């Protein structure tokens, strides 16, 4: 037992060194030639948390292995906030033991095995939002009906928008995306219903909402005065760092880890599925 206690920290240090290993100039140059430039957007679930005080390198290594094994059994396509997605999941309470829900993706959050995404749709006049865990075994199929982006990375404000912005036919036919073309950005700006809202959306810098503050009545403006929260945000250097900070060496190592796993499984005949792929650069790792 004492031997195991001594070995475990050593293994953890080895894994930690591999995660933080610095690439040489030549090695980095070679890997950058086949690197997916928007890797953080295509695979946000593989990104480590930006709060380094909460990182555990051993856990991240083990979680990535589980995530790759799960991707062998279910095709998890590329999609973004704003894409129309359909999810089929098992439910033992139903007669057919499965259910399918289609909606617009309004948020993607967390990393690793805790990755979540939320779909929203209007069903019989009622707004329905379902949060799914990306790697839960109850999900049997994920379909991208329409691949696109929106002006914002969070569409939670659709709960206070008019229903037509969240209404989609559950039998909607898929729209194909031309391989190698950039992901289209939908410039649609939604119009919110009259207040009160679930949150004070006018305080946040959302680009996908029409200007609603100038249209409100003087009574509402007097009761809910516009504060300076938005003005303070531009001085938050830590928030900026967590949003844009990236370690290119770490990205390249994670990308190589995914490619090695894919190659190993394909050579063993376990699968023909490509795990590492991008709609904009489908053959970037075939060099």
pLDDT (0 to 100) of residue 25:
64
CB 226 within 8 A of CB 216: no
Q: At what angle do helices 57-73 and 2-20 cross, to 10 degrees?
A: 80
Domain that includes residue 124, residue range: 25-265
pLDDT (0 to 100) of residue 246:
62
- What's the structural domain count of the chain? 1
Angle, alpha carbons 199-201-206 (nearest 5°):
140
Residue 129 has pLDDT above 50, yes or no: yes
Residue 271: inside a domain:
no
Residue 117: inside a domain:
yes
Q: What is the mean pLDDT of residues 214-224?
A: 68
Residue 281: inside a domain:
no
Residue 1: inside a domain:
no
Q: Rounded to whole angstroms, what are the CA distances from 139 to 19, 87, 97, 222?
A: 30, 7, 12, 48
Residues present in the chain in total: 287
Q: Residues 264-280: pLDDT tens digits?
A: 888 888 777 888 888 87
Half-sphere exposure of 44 (CA within 13 A, CB side): 17
Q: Residues 2-35: pLDDT tens digits?
A: 444 444 454 444 444 444 556 666 676 667 777 7
Residue 3: inside a domain:
no
**CATH number, domain containing residue 178:** 2.30.30.790
Angle, alpha carbons 160-165-171 (nearest 5°):
130
Residue 270: inside a domain:
no
Query: In this structure, what DSSP letter does residue 12 have?
Result: H
Using CB atoms within 10 A of its CB, is residue 21 exposed (0-12), middle (13-18) or buried (19+)? exposed
CB 193 within 8 A of CB 160: yes
DSSP string, 177-198: --TTSPPPB----B-BPSSP-S
User: Which two three-digit tokens encode residue 287?
Assistant: 């060099």
Output phi, psi for 52, to 5 deg: -65, -25
* Integer Cα distance of 194 and 236 in angstroms: 31
Weakest mean pLDDT among 23-32, 203-212, 227-236: 227-236
CB 44 within 8 A of CB 111: yes
User: Which two three-digit tokens encode residue 3?
Assistant: 């031997």
Give the contacts of 114 (CB within 8 A, at least 6 positions apart): 133
Residue 12: inside a domain:
no
Q: What is the mean pLDDT of residues 173-182?
A: 88
| pLDDT above 70: percentage of residues in the chain | 78
């Amino acid at each position: 037992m004492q031997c195991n206690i001594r070995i475990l920290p050593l293994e953890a240090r080895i894994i930690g060194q591999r995660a933080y290993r610095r690439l040489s100039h030549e090695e980095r140059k070679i890997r950058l030639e086949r690197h997916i430039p928007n890797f953080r957007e295509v695979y946000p679930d593989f990104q480590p948390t930006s709060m380094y005080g909460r990182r555990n390198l051993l856990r991240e290594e083990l979680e990535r292995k589980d995530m790759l094994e799960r991707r062998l059994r279910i095709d998890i396509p590329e999609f973004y906030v704003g894409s129309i997605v359909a999810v089929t999941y098992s439910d033992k309470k139903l007669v057919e033991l499965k259910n399918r829900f289609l909606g617009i993706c309004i948020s993607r959050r967390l990393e690793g095995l805790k990755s979540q995404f939320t779909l929203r749709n209007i069903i019989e006049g009622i707004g329905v939002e379902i949060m799914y865990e990306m790697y839960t075994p109850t999900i049997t199929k994920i379909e991208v009906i329409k691949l696109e982006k929106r002006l914002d990375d969070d569409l939670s404000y659709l709960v206070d928008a008019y229903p037509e912005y969240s209404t989609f036919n559950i039998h909607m036919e898929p729209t194909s995306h031309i391989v190698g073309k950039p992901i289209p950005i939908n410039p649609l700006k939604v119009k919110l219903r009259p207040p009160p809202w679930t949150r004070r959306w006018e305080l946040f810098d959302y680009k996908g909402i029409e200007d609603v503050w100038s249209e409100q009545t003087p009574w509402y403006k007097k009761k809910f005065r516009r504060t300076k929260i938005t003005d303070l945000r531009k001085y938050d250097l830590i928030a900026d760092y967590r949003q844009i900070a990236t370690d290119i060496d770490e990205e390249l190592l994670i990308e190589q880890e995914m490619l090695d796993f894919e190659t190993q499984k394909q050579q063993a005949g376990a699968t023909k599925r490509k795990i590492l792929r991008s709609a904009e650069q489908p053959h970037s790792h075939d060099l």
